[in-house]
Structure 1
């Protein structure tokens, strides 16, 4: 069984068109998600033994997952964010859950389910209490991608002082969801919302892994490479649009514009190389030290961010005011990419990675992998 990469690449235009139409009203890309589901994108992350391709759950699937997320990102960064969360949730269940939990996840995904990973607390942090009926939740999650469309979410909840657990919660019509992304200037199609889980009761079997598993290294840091892969797609798309629009206006021959085109290509390739390096290390837990993996992926995250910001600047300078006109697809992609690239504590991340490698060399993954 192989993944239809050519078919996914061919639907870029329809994903992009839907993203553009949906942007003004912050609508979720329902048609695009259905298209990806038909192509097998949502099932690809499952282990091969459970009918998937191992994209994200088996070491050999890293290259395929990188390419798949990259192609989705080229069509729609908002949809890429939703798919990334789906893959992340499945991976965490595969890593820390029981075989029975993973089998249940697989059955639901084959039946069309969309999973989400929600870890950012809302105004009232999510906590869990043991009761006679099971586990009762109090509080909620903010910046929950696909809040009204996710079938089941893997969430983190406080189980006591400095104790965090992961658990799977079913999402239904009865959940209170409030718009949480309407004020965002970018990624408006990701269906971001605030979800109040207060009063929800789940069985102990909903718990995934042990206390502290979500923050366990190197996985906690290493998983960032999947977000980089989606951002890479956006950077590549901006580079292609810069070249295409300059050529269409007869301005691509200008030395200044050629320099911008060249720098945009370098930025895209830089993002690709760092993302690939991070993916190779992140899936080589048995060959590399945990600190080496975490520090390298953190450097890669910052390198991709820098490449993305440079690509945005080059496109804005190269296209001028037309890059700020709303009926130009470039304007939306710039907003989406700028929002997607925002990650917490970049300065702290850089300093920690630099400190780690001050007295040791960076690991060298096998580039033939």
Structure 2
């Protein structure tokens, strides 16, 4: 058991257990399941409570302006060891961020108590043929419908979900799940991110009390938070890019191929792509967490960063395949798993619309500089 450590030291704790987290990721890729060991490490180090504000016992990473870069470093480090663990932890942070931003003081305090009691949060918003509805009002309301592609569907106990009331826009609800949930793994499975325990969950008949409803109707879609939160996913994906860049260099060096000029070009191109994604991730984190910038600038910048990271990731995957050749497609080579995980992780919705909207926003104005306060 670890003592809770400062935000900057959480990175060192995770990095110090890289081999164990990597081994768990490899095992879950083969057998499926949930990264219990990884979450045990994060819980013991205080990382699950850390995103909450200081006044409820957290460290404010991801919920207070000064904590953005610390969270960027932590998410990147987790993603380098295990993209599946990074996806689940990022969802935990995302849910707590929304509760802190839109919820009441009592709801924030309840969330902190839940984390201390061992509950893990997440965010499930993908609808299927039977979208989740909020039926009734007040103490008599209940849910109907299901969520698909829910990370940790059979394990997470405090997912934040969106539910559609009879009238008006959707609203956020914290579901309180136990072992009696109606959930199952994704039918057919995914080729990557198998350690994220993705599945479906049916909420039909679940009663909802007023204290579980977070914010006002439509808050989930409110900008800039709706788009800005994507920077945390960028940070996790950046960790996967780090892993592949390191893999290219290490494996080519071991095979005595790093000095080949064609391979050197691939290493150089991978480093350029990685650094490009890193710079965009930093800009997005500073803007999203700074709290002092035009909402449209924040949303559009994060959307550009999302596309830049996707392009960098796909470039590095291709360079890994060319650099390692058939060796990179062996299941015994960890690069094969990381490439599948990263390719799956990068599949975010509506990339074309995201790029068009961001480009149109900045057609008549310059990108803000988060390093210089407005």
TM-score range, shorter chain: over 0.9
Cα pair distance change 1:45/1:146, threshold 3 Å = same
Report the TM-score when normalising by structure 1: 0.97
Per the alignment, residue 2 of structure 1 pairs with: 6
Equivalent of 2:323, from 308, 318, 321?
A: 318
- Is the counterpart of residue 112 in structure 1 residue 115 in structure 2? no
Per the alignment, residue 246 of structure 1 pairs with: 252
Per the alignment, residue 144 of structure 1 pairs with: 150
Output aligned runs, 1:114-193, within 5 Å: 114-130=120-136, 134-180=140-186, 182-193=188-199
Q: Deviations over 1:134-192 (max 9, x none)?
A: 21100011111011111211110001344201011111111110211652100011010
> Any conservation in 1 of the 2:154–2:184 contact (CA below 8 Å)?
no
* Farther-moved stretch of structure 1 (105-114 vs 193-202): 105-114
Per the alignment, residue 31 of structure 1 pairs with: 37
> Any conservation in 1 of the 2:154–2:185 contact (CA below 8 Å)?
no
Q: After the TM superposition, which parts of structure 1 deviate over 4 Å for at least 4 consecutive aligned residues?
A: none
**CA separation in 2, counterparts of 1:305 and 1:312?**
11
Per the alignment, residue 360 of structure 1 pairs with: 365
Output aligned runs, 1:1-369, within 5 Å: 2-3=6-7, 4=9, 5-130=11-136, 134-180=140-186, 182-285=188-291, 287-366=292-371
SS at match of 2:162: strand
Q: Deviations over 1:67-102 (max 9, x none)?
A: 110010010000100000000000000000000000
SS at match of 1:163: coil
Q: Deviations over 1:221-259 (max 9, x none)?
A: 000000000000000011001100111111111011111
> Any conservation in 2 of the 1:181–1:191 contact (CA below 8 Å)?
no
> Any conservation in 2 of the 1:15–1:75 contact (CA below 8 Å)?
yes
SS at match of 2:290: coil
**CA separation in 1, counterparts of 2:43 and 2:207?**
30
Q: In the TM superposition, what is the alpha-carbon distance from 1:319 to its structure 2 partner?
A: 0.1
> Any conservation in 1 of the 2:231–2:306 contact (CA below 8 Å)?
yes
Q: In the TM superposition, what is the alpha-carbon distance from 1:51 to its structure 2 partner?
A: 1.2
* Farther-moved stretch of structure 1 (299-308 vs 159-168): 159-168
Q: Deviations over 1:197-230 (max 9, x none)?
A: 0010021111000010000000100000000000
Number of residue-to-residue matches in the alignment: 367
**Structure 2 stretches lacking a partner, 5+ long:** none
> Any conservation in 2 of the 1:134–1:204 contact (CA below 8 Å)?
no
> Any conservation in 1 of the 2:138–2:210 contact (CA below 8 Å)?
no
**CA separation in 1, counterparts of 2:138 and 2:296?**
42
> Any conservation in 2 of the 1:260–1:314 contact (CA below 8 Å)?
yes
**CA separation in 2, counterparts of 1:92 and 1:131?**
22
Cα pair distance change 1:279/1:133, threshold 3 Å = closer
* Farther-moved stretch of structure 1 (103-112 vs 219-228): 103-112
Cα pair distance change 1:159/1:258, threshold 3 Å = same
**CA separation in 2, counterparts of 1:7 and 1:207?**
35
Q: In the TM superposition, what is the alpha-carbon distance from 1:2 to its structure 2 partner?
A: 1.4
**CA separation in 1, counterparts of 2:247 and 2:52?**
34
> Any conservation in 2 of the 1:168–1:208 contact (CA below 8 Å)?
yes
**Structure 1 stretches lacking a partner, 5+ long:** none
Q: In the TM superposition, what is the alpha-carbon distance from 1:339 to its structure 2 partner?
A: 0.3
